[in-house]
């Protein structure tokens, strides 16, 4: 029975992603975001449960990517579709570029399943990170009073740049650190601790705006960390 527990948790991710898709199509971005976050929580705990119960296998690996494809691939693509549709008056075809996020996520997840280098770190931006970035945009637009931020999210050029950048980052040969801790020694995990402290500070200070900033910080810190390792070799 225990071998099925992680797969049931993974199906919880898929269930949340499916509901999130329905709300994204209806442009109910708050509930879509809620179910994406719940799906990502399930996504974290299925791997945790598999390691704890020592029941990881090929079926779970494939199932995990299929669930992620919906929660962190289809939903953000639909949300960007709507954001571009609302921003690109007079250019109706432009909204379909938002679905590049879905295609990029699919390609990344397929590569991840056959890439043996990504056991302790990531190569390219993980799809849940991309998804969190995208689902935050309509929430920022709704709840922030900063005019410049409002202008950016309603600007189709900005949205296109974000779409192309995130699609590229998901599939780039860019090593990114994982938040898995082999030990809790500060010296061995200084980048991870700095990232967590900075992320919490941003979340408490600027709320929804913190989410894309945290994702960008993750990429920048990873690049600095990679450069530091190269210079010490």
Q: What is the pTM of this model?
A: 0.90
The whole-number pLDDT of residue 193 equals 87
pLDDT value of position 56:
73
pLDDT score recorded for residue 182: 66
Distance CA 107, CA 114 (A): 11
Instruction: Check residue 119 and give its pLDDT.
Output: 62
pLDDT at 154: 92
Domain boundaries, the chain: 2-174
Q: What whole-number distance in Å separates Cα of residue 47 and Cα of residue 69?
A: 16
- Per the CB < 8 A criterion, the answer to whether 178 and 122 are in contact is yes
Strands (E), the chain: 121-123, 175-177
Integer angstrom CA distances of residue 78 from 8, 69, 96, 185? 26, 13, 9, 41
178, 121 Cβ separation under 8 angstroms: yes
Closest CA to 69 of 138, 170, 163: 170
| Regions of the chain short of the pLDDT cut 50 | none
**Residue 186, SS3 per DSSP:** coil
What number does CATH give the domain 2-174?
A: 1.20.120.1760
Please list, residue by residue across 109-134, b when 16 or more beta carbons sit within 10 angstroms of its beta carbon and e when fewer do: beebeeeeebeeebbbbbbbbbbbbb
Sequence-distant (6+) residues with CB within 8 A of 59 are 7
């Amino acid at each position: 029975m225990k071998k099925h527990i992680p797969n049931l948790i993974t199906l919880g991710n898929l269930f949340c992603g499916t509901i999130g898709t329905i709300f994204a199509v209806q442009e109910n971005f708050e509930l879509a975001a809620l179910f994406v976050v719940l799906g990502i929580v399930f996504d974290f705990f299925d791997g945790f449960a598999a390691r704890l119960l020592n029941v990881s296998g090929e079926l779970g690996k494939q199932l995990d990517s299929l669930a992620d494809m919906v929660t962190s691939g289809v939903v953000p693509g639909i949300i960007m579709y709507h954001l571009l549709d609302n921003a690109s008056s007079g250019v109706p075809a432009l909204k379909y570029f938002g679905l590049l996020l879905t295609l990029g996520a699919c390609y990344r997840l397929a590569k991840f399943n056959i890439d043996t280098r990504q056991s302790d770190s990531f190569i390219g931006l993980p799809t849940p990170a991309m998804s969190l970035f995208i689902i935050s945009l309509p929430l920022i637009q709704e709840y922030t009073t900063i005019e410049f931020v409002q202008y950016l999210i309603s600007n189709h050029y900005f949205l296109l740049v974000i779409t192309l950048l995130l699609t590229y980052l998901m599939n780039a040969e860019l090593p990114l650190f994982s938040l898995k801790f082999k030990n809790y020694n500060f010296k061995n995990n200084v980048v991870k601790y700095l990232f967590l402290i900075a992320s919490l500070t941003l979340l408490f200070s600027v709320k929804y705006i913190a989410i894309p900033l945290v994702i960008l910080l993750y990429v920048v810190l990873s690049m600095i960390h990679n450069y530091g390792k190269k210079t010490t070799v």
